[in-house]
Structure 1
Amino acid sequence: MIDGPAGPEDDEKETVQPGRLRPTSAGAITTWAVIGLVGGWLLHPLAERVRDTAPIVTWAQPLALVLVAAILGATAYVTWRTVHVQHHRLEPQQAVNRLVLARACALVGALVAGGYFGYALSWVGVGTELGDQRMWRSVVAGVAGVAIVITALLLERACRVRSDPEDA
């Protein structure tokens, strides 16, 4: 790096701390949820045009999402206890793996929740045999998707460590 007079660009570079990550933003989660909402809402009419029938939502989908949320919640709890209660440091690779898992699950959980809520909205007011069943099961799956987002954010928060005084 070449030394020279300090300018406004240099001040901006100093505020960014290398090796530091920001938490997943609410804007990113909202964006993925809206994309999922629109996609889920469009799935019903498109599937009926192409296949003459809309996809069925079984109890397996919401239960699988609840299982993912439970696993994330357990991982967040174990991570929190290890880092913040017992004051042990995670191995660097283990910490990065958990952080990547948390971020990916938060974004995908928002997409899935939005998708199922959008699919449920597409059934409001539709009087078919399985319409109510599809709508309510989609709502349950959407709630499970929200649980994935919450537990993923808890895992991300559990991965946070305090800065050492000499790092500041």
Structure 2
Amino acid sequence: MVGAWALAGLVVGLLVRPVADWFDSTAPIVSWAQPLALLLVAAILGVTAHATWRSVHVRRERLEPHQAVNRLVLARACALVGALAGAGYLGYAVSWIGAEAELADERMIRSGVAFVGGVLTVVAALLLERACRVRSDERS
């Protein structure tokens, strides 16, 4: 499922620049806010995954059912959105390769950082999902 969202994001990202050109419009500028937001989400998910892992697997505490479901839903949603956004920014960066526009390099660099943020978001989300799992012999 994550792969399908990433593929969709890649296709959309590759199409943004040509569609903007077709409509005689300016292609979107990527500010530092977008990559930093993805990196912030990845950091929050990573901290949550670490705290959950320590609670469940090290201290052997039980999560309340609603807490576990909330964390699993958060992790799944962030994995899908991280894949979509990260791949979208990768496609957008690739669409600028070889372009001679004055902001092409800036768009590629910022989109590349946003791609890394998207990948880190997916990884942190999957780690959070994994932290919520309990072994079958731990259930009582």
TM-score range, shorter chain: over 0.9
Give me the whole-angstrom Cα distance separating, in 2, the residues matched to 1:101 and 1:52.
Answer: 36
Task: Say which is worse superposed, 41-50 or 124-133, in terms of deviation.
Answer: 41-50
Question: In the TM superposition, what whole-angstrom CA distance separates every residue of 1:41-70 from its partner, at most 9, and x where no partner exists?
Answer: 001111232352000001111001110000
Higher helix share: 2
Change (3 A) 1:60 1:51: farther
In the superposition, the TM-score normalised over structure 2's length comes to: 0.95
| Partner residue, 1:124 | 97
TM-score w.r.t. the length of structure 1 is 0.80
Consecutive unaligned residues in structure 1, runs of 5 or more = 1-27
More divergent stretch after superposition (69-78 vs 157-166): 157-166
Deviation at 1:122, TM superposition (A): 0.4
2:136 partner SS:
coil
Matched residue, 2:51 = 78
| Higher Rg of the two aligned structures | 1
Quick one: higher RCO (CA 8 Å, sep 6+), 1 or 2?
A: 2
Identity of aligned residues (%): 66
Equivalenced residues, count: 140
Q: Runs in 1 of length 4+ with deviation above 4 angstroms?
A: none
The aligned residue for residue 153 of structure 1 is 126
1:150 is displaced (CA, Å) by 0.2
> 2:34 — aligned with what?
61
2:32 is the alignment partner of 1:47: no
Q: CA deviation at 1:164?
A: 3.8
Q: Alpha carbon RMSD of aligned pairs, Å?
A: 1.4
